[in-house]
Structure 1
Amino acid sequence: MRLSAEKLAWSVHGTPLLTDVNLTVEPGQTFGLVGPNGSGKTSLLRLLAGLNKPKAGRVLIDHQPMHTLKQRAIAQSIALVEQQADTTDRITVHQVASLGRTPFLSALRPWSKEDDAIVAQALHDVDMAHMTDRLWHTLSGGERQRVHIARALAQQPKILLLDEPTNHLDIRHQLSILELVRQLPITVMISLHDLNHAMECDRIGVMDGGRLIDSGLPQEALTAARLRQTFGVYAHVVDDPIDGKQIMRFRSEV
């Protein structure tokens, strides 16, 4: 499923947070979103998910304007994993992941064995199947993040939006979650702080000051000049001695 933004703008109390953002993520593509803190990545993802309405511009799903779609139809197509999503309710891991099935349930379509299987698979995929009965408040930050990702996977979206999903995760689960996301046969936009993780994406968009200032193949968007100007770091690319992939090394000064 194709996801597009046309001249998106967003502001809060008169302060612009996004200005004139244009981008397209093609079906099946993994699009990495990078930028300094406060550059507008989270605001953009919330607009693309339909949680906020743009002050100007529009979001399109397969060429259809999002504002013409019902919320249920949007929820059946797009899942968002936010940085912080919490609850004070005493609910279990299984109950949280099961929320992903909500857009598909109705009086005519109650919970079924198929839903059980989908939720079980989602928890297995994020290595949380062994904690299915654990209460939410007993989980670590990393465990909660993995359950949120399971909830999004249980939603079986055609478009998956992730806002820094590797926050709070140990390195093993960072790598396994990113590998899982790359293998999904759906359209993905993922906000990342680790630029080497972003290098694994099909395309990258660079945010700064509420604007999408560059996009393209990772090697095209994350140039040495761009890294100095946007992130304030110096970098050079080296070949990984193990697998030959290109990785970046950084320093704060020459």
Structure 2
Amino acid sequence: MRLSAEQLGWTAQGRRLLDNVSLDVEPGETFGLVGPNGSGKTTLLRMLAGLRRPHSGAVLVDGRAMSAMRQRDIARCIALVEQHADTTDRVTARQVVALGRTPFLSPLRPWSSQDEAVVSRALDDVDMRHMADRLWHTLSGGERQRVHIARALAQQPQVLLLDEPTNHLDIRHQLSILRLVRQLPITVVIALHDLNQAMDCDRVGVMEAGRLIDMGPPGQVLTAERLHHTFGVHADLVDDPLDGSRIMRFRTVV
């Protein structure tokens, strides 16, 4: 499924949070969003998910204006994992993941064994099935994050949007989640702080002050000059001794 943004704009309290942002994410592509805090990544993801309507411009899903789609129809094809999503309800991890099936349920299509199987598979994918019956408030931050990712997977989306999904995760689960995302046969847009993780994306876009200032293959976009200008760091590209891939070594700008 192709996801497009056409000249998106958003202003809040006189501040331009998104400024004329346009991009096309191709079917099956993994597109990384990088940029400093406050650069507009979260605002853009929420618009692409249909949770916030742009003040100007449009979001298109396979060429169809999202503004003309019902929220249920959007939820049947697009899932978002936000940075901070919490609940005060006394619910179990399995019940949170089961919420991902909500767009597909109706009086004529009640909960079924198929839904149960989808939820169990999603819990397996994020290594949380053994904690499925744990209450939400007993889970750590990293465990909650994995449950939210499982909830999104349970939607069986054609487009998966993730806002810094490795926050709170230990290194083992960071790597396993990113590996899982890369293997999914769907369109993915993922906001990342770790620029080395962004190197594994098909393309990356660099956000700065609400604008998408660069876009393309990671090796062409995440140059030493770009990292110096946008992130205020010096970076050396070196070869990983294990597999020969290019990785970054950072030094702060003095």
Return the TM-score normalized by structure 2: 0.99
**2-side partners of 1:234 and 1:211: how far apart?**
22
Give the letter aligned to residue 22 of structure 2. N
Determine whether 1:128 maps to 2:122: no
Identical positions, percent: 72
Q: CA deviation at 1:49?
A: 0.3
Q: Which residue of 2 aligns with 1:109?
A: 109
Where do residues 52-63 of structure 1 align in structure 2 (5 Å cutoff)?
Answer: 52-63=52-63
Shift of the alpha carbon at 1:96? 0.1
SS at the partner of 1:251?
Answer: strand
1:27 and 1:253 mapped to 2: Cα distance?
38
1:143-182 matched pairs, under 5 angstroms: 143-182=143-182
Q: Secondary structure at the match of 1:153?
A: helix
- Secondary structure (helix, strand or coil) at the match of 1:80 reads strand
Partner of 1:209: 209
Separation (CA, whole Å) in 2 of partners of 1:94 and 1:235:
42
Q: Quote the Cα distance in structure 1 between the aligned partners of 2:2 and 2:122.
A: 24
Query: What one-letter code is carried by the residue in structure 2 that aligns with 1:46?
Result: R
Task: Tell me the alpha carbon deviations over residues 61-112 of structure 1, each in whole angstroms, 9 at most, x when there is no partner.
Answer: 0010100111111000100000000000000000000000000000000000
Note the 1:178-197 alignment, pairs <5 A: 178-197=178-197
Query: In 2, Cα distance between the equivalents of 1:203 and 1:100?
Result: 28
Q: CA deviation at 1:253?
A: 3.2
Which residue in 1 is equivalent to 2:64? 64
Partner of 1:229: 229
Aligned residues: 254
Secondary structure in structure 1 of the residue aligned to 2:180: helix
Q: Counterpart of 2:117 in structure 1: which amino acid?
A: A
TM-score normalised by L of structure 1 = 0.99
Unaligned runs of 5+ in 2: none
In structure 1, stretches of 5+ residues that fail to align are: none
